[in-house]
Structure 1
């Protein structure tokens, strides 16, 4: 009996793309208004990590959250922004859950992401997060590369927006090998654009990387959800059929051909 032909099958991002850009900004400072306007103008998407218990004058008020961050993601940054590695573990849980409660009551959807406050975390905290409804958590630091993380509970960005942003952006825009999935992840604080007087640099970056046919512009949680759904695809051994048990479409490449596998569908390859 002749064996079925072996095929090269790759997971793609939506639309058959092989690159994704995402942003992550903390603290919900008033400068988020200008940053969101900039992102919206260029079609860039990102995640904004807010503290539900710190409603100070220099921060965007809850009355604006739903409209301002529409099309982006709001995620946790703990309720009061403590250095949680020094805190009792039960109080860390409460900081996260109370932040979720406050954010969800305004945003109207489950809040499932976290940026560790002050970059503070421990393996014990990271292990606890799924039981608190958290699907990913961002640490501080830069990788200056474009790899997909192995552990989304210790997700490290490509760069802070003051650390080689344009240089990394130029390298990301030039990537072309479609056998890899690439991700550029930028993090920071919007108030730093005012402190460092570098709003123009972020606009140059957006102009450089936006509007590319090979790039998906996504929030943090969209990336996590999509890759989780991609891992759930069910292939026959002969790779002549695939079933997608998820609700959203997942894209794959089969011997160079890019295919959309709709949610709930079984597709012949």
Structure 2
């Protein structure tokens, strides 16, 4: 019997996640487009800039991002590698605390301002209760990361997005879990007058039964839960201690492992 970690929820092989930075007023329009087509986004916000133009108001954060994820982008969007450890902690923890007070749930992820990070910063993040952080280093593939603290996206939305979308939809997973991860800033659509790009992308990729639409943290939670499954020595007994229903491959077939239950194969 061959067991594999090769399925997302409902036995799907493909997932799409979106990641947008800064928290400017143009997120309002982007959220409407995502909602129209069933797309989920993670929005990395600089809470130190709230209530100043062109940034969002603190009072709208909770309602605006319902169904999406609110994530850290630090208080003031500084180059973190130029700062003292004390200031780095203030920038990250301060943003986390501000956002949590607005959305009433633990904020657990972030993206690096300017894509600026180093090994020392990466090592600090778990001690600040950060479980992932997105870079700006696009790999132009559809793979899951080796290290979620340096989570490289597939592409920026201005990098041949529609061509990559067609490729992703048509690609045979060949037994793999594929992920299309797109990042950017909503103000870029306004500045470049190309809102039609993200509208066409969402229309093409959205509302497909074979795709899981997830926030960054939902992907983290699912992958971690898969890794935490408990197997008997012969792999015929599986215990799922998580609160999530999971799907694994059993001899190439998707098999549901119910939350909090033993499964006997």
TM over 0.5: yes
Is structure 2 residue 221 aligned with structure 1 residue 225? yes
Whether the aligned pair in 2 keeps the contact of 1:76 and 1:113 (CA below 8 Å) is yes
Q: Give TM-score scaled by structure 1 length.
A: 0.95
Where 1:228 maps in the other structure, the secondary structure is: helix
| C-alpha displacement of 1:8 | 4.2
Is structure 2 residue 148 aligned with structure 1 residue 152? yes
CA-based RMSD: 1.1
Return the match for 1:50 from 45, 66, 77: 45
* Residue equivalent to 2:36: 41
Distance in 2, Cα, partners of 1:49 & 1:210: 22
Is structure 2 residue 5 aligned with structure 1 residue 10? yes
Whether the aligned pair in 1 keeps the contact of 2:2 and 2:252 (CA below 8 Å) is no
Distance in 1, Cα, partners of 2:172 & 2:207: 16
Whether the aligned pair in 1 keeps the contact of 2:134 and 2:149 (CA below 8 Å) is yes
Return the match for 1:96 from 92, 98, 121: 92
* Residue equivalent to 1:134: 130
Whether the aligned pair in 2 keeps the contact of 1:141 and 1:160 (CA below 8 Å) is no
Q: Give TM-score scaled by structure 2 length.
A: 0.97
| C-alpha displacement of 1:103 | 0.4
Q: How does 1:79-228 map to 2 (within 5 A)?
A: 79-228=75-224
Gaps of 5+ in 2: none
Gaps of 5+ in 1: 1-5
Deviations 1:22-45 (A, max 9, x none): 000011111101000000000000
Where 2:127 maps in the other structure, the secondary structure is: helix
Return the match for 1:27 from 14, 18, 22: 22
Whether the aligned pair in 1 keeps the contact of 2:14 and 2:179 (CA below 8 Å) is yes
| C-alpha displacement of 1:164 | 1.1
Where 2:18 maps in the other structure, the secondary structure is: strand
Whether the aligned pair in 2 keeps the contact of 1:10 and 1:254 (CA below 8 Å) is no
Distance in 1, Cα, partners of 2:257 & 2:75: 39
Deviations 1:55-94 (A, max 9, x none): 2121110111101000000000001111111111221111
Distance in 2, Cα, partners of 1:147 & 1:249: 22
Where 1:187 maps in the other structure, the secondary structure is: strand
